[in-house]
Amino acid sequence: MKKQQSRQERRKFLRKAGISGFAALLGADIVFALPRGYIPIALEAKDPQSLFGKHPDMVTLNDQPWNVEAQAHLLDDKVTPDDKMFIRNNGLVPESIDVENWSLTIRGEAVNQEKTYSLKELKEKFPKHTYQLVLECGGNGRAEYFPPADGNQWTIGAVSCAEWTGIRLRDLLNEVGVKANAIYVGYHAADTHLSRDPNKEPISRGIPIEKAMEDETILAFQMNGKDIPLVHGHPLRLIASGFPASVSGKWINGLSIRDKIHDGEKMAPPSYSIPCETVEPGTSVPNEKMCVIEKMPVKSLITYPKIGAMIKEGQKLPIRGHAWTAEERISKTEYSIDFGASWKPCRTAAPKNRFAWQHFDAEIDFPKKGYYEIWVKATDNTGAAQPMLTPGWNPKGYINNSCHRIAIKVT
């Protein structure tokens, strides 16, 4: 009881401290005086609920670094609130964020001249845009692959669709001026490598210049109408939806405009890459035969009811969820209660904007009592649809977009 109370207190404290994060909790001078091996009391909390204000049902897969996923029923909101948003860190969350002096430096061999903007300048100089944007980890669904792949065993919860506000990367790049040979934009961020070596970046990925120039590719400073939560990239984050979320760098302080594919940490195969030609499960594939993942595949998630629901015979069951694609839009969603033998249409809502997930719903009549699985399948405007079984095995277990299914009972 006492422990619970103090946890609650701590949570309140953290919430109050909010975006200023650890530094505010600890006091800047304590951070600098911190001897190696000593753990500040406030960081003792070993759960993402107390540390980051996450929902009690969020599942921790790893705490060094933090990797925390949602469950399907937690993602029922139309726009994902921060307490239900998955966390995927490759390194350590920055301990101190100095918003006042935060800056973004644009450099690289394909930029006209190196230029630095303060966060304030970025906010004032360029028009602001707000979009609902899906972020899905490339490894979402990895747990289903056999033979299994190393890494976090994400099930279905490494996806979110929050509302992000920021400036278009295109507007910034146009002002800075990029050379005709610019083909890639890499990001640099303020998180710390797990080894704590200041010369190593935990992750520094990027996007092709065409992706950087899209309307919806933004440098965001707000999420769901407020400052971005610390763990999700405060005070500045790149969002390039439709690609694996690893390209959406958090805590951004630098961009490299490259005349070749960016070569930052976790950019080259085997990271976020799949065999260029499909292989049989269990094959070891040399890096030269791996291709970096760009567009994520079409996918959907049933967010209501929660798996294991029971209803009475004769009762209709409403179902709902979301579907998303890296293409223009979802064109249809369907459900099956006979393991894919037959499909019936769901209603599919229009997207708020490109790369926002689209909500679907249906009312299901069951023919008789018993155990059922409900499967949902989405199809996008290119005609691409979800497979019913785990698709294309790949050594690192990426881009599993098989149909989500839930079990229910009619009694």
Distance of CA 272 to the CA centre of its chain: 14
Please choose which of Mo ion, ligand MTE, none residue 375 contacts, taking the beta carbon within 5 to 8 angstroms, the exact cut-off set by kind. none
Please choose which of Mo ion, ligand MTE, none residue 87 contacts, taking the beta carbon within 5 to 8 angstroms, the exact cut-off set by kind. ligand MTE
Helical segments of 107-200, H only: 119-125, 169-176
Is 191 among the residues that bind ligand MTE (CB under 6 A)? yes
Q: Token pair for residue 249? A: 């760098």
3-state secondary structure of 178: strand
Is 192 among the residues that bind ligand MTE (CB under 6 A)? no
Among 73, 84, 250, 354, binds ligand MTE (CB under 6 A): 250
Q: Give 189 or 298: the residue with its C-beta nearer to ligand MTE.
A: 189
Q: Tell me which stretch binds ligand MTE (CB under 6 A): 16-24, 53-61, 117-125, 243-251.
A: 243-251
Among 74, 135, 298, 319, binds ligand MTE (CB under 6 A): 135
Helical segments of 158-292, H only: 169-176, 209-212
Q: Give 71 or 388: the residue with its C-beta nearer to ligand MTE.
A: 71
Is 153 among the residues that bind ligand MTE (CB under 6 A)? no
C-alpha–C-alpha distance, residues 406 and 372, integer Å: 8
Q: From the CB of residue 335, how many other CB atoms can be counted at a distance below 10 Å?
A: 23
Query: Least distance in Å: CB of 88 to Mo ion?
Result: 4
DSSP category for residue 284: -
3-state secondary structure of 249: coil
Q: Give 169 or 374: the residue with its C-beta nearer to ligand MTE.
A: 169
- What is the length of the chain? 411
Q: Token pair for residue 381? A: 């405007």
Among 245, 319, 356, 376, binds ligand MTE (CB under 6 A): 245
Q: Give 137 or 319: the residue with its C-beta nearer to ligand MTE.
A: 137
Is 90 among the residues that bind ligand MTE (CB under 6 A)? yes
Asked if 91 and 202 touch (Cβ cutoff 8 Å), the reply is yes
DSSP category for residue 68: E
C-alpha–C-alpha distance, residues 361 and 344, integer Å: 11
Is 108 among the residues that bind ligand MTE (CB under 6 A)? no
CB contact burial 20-29 (16+ within 10 A = b; e otherwise)? bbbbbbbeee
C-alpha–C-alpha distance, residues 25 and 12, integer Å: 12
Please choose which of ligand MTE, Mo ion, none residue 360 contacts, taking the beta carbon within 5 to 8 angstroms, the exact cut-off set by kind. none
Query: Least distance in Å: CB of 138 to Mo ion?
Result: 5
Is 87 among the residues that bind ligand MTE (CB under 6 A)? yes
Q: Token pair for residue 8? A: 């609650």
Among 88, 258, 299, 352, binds Mo ion (CB under 5 A): 88
DSSP category for residue 407: E
Query: Least distance in Å: CB of 277 to ligand MTE?
Result: 25
Asked if 245 and 88 touch (Cβ cutoff 8 Å), the reply is yes
Is 154 among the residues that bind ligand MTE (CB under 6 A)? no
C-alpha–C-alpha distance, residues 178 and 372, integer Å: 56
Site string for Mo ion, 222-261 (x = CB under 5 A): ------------------------x---------------
Among 72, 106, 111, 137, binds ligand MTE (CB under 6 A): 137
- Looking at residues 113 to 172 of the shown chain, list those that interact with Mo ion (rule: CB under 5 A): 137
Give the torsion sign (CA, 13, 14, 15, 16). positive
Binding-site ranges for Mo ion (CB under 5 A): 88, 137, 246
Q: Which residues bind ligand MTE (CB under 6 A)?
A: 85-91, 135, 137, 160, 189, 191, 202-203, 232, 245-246, 248-251
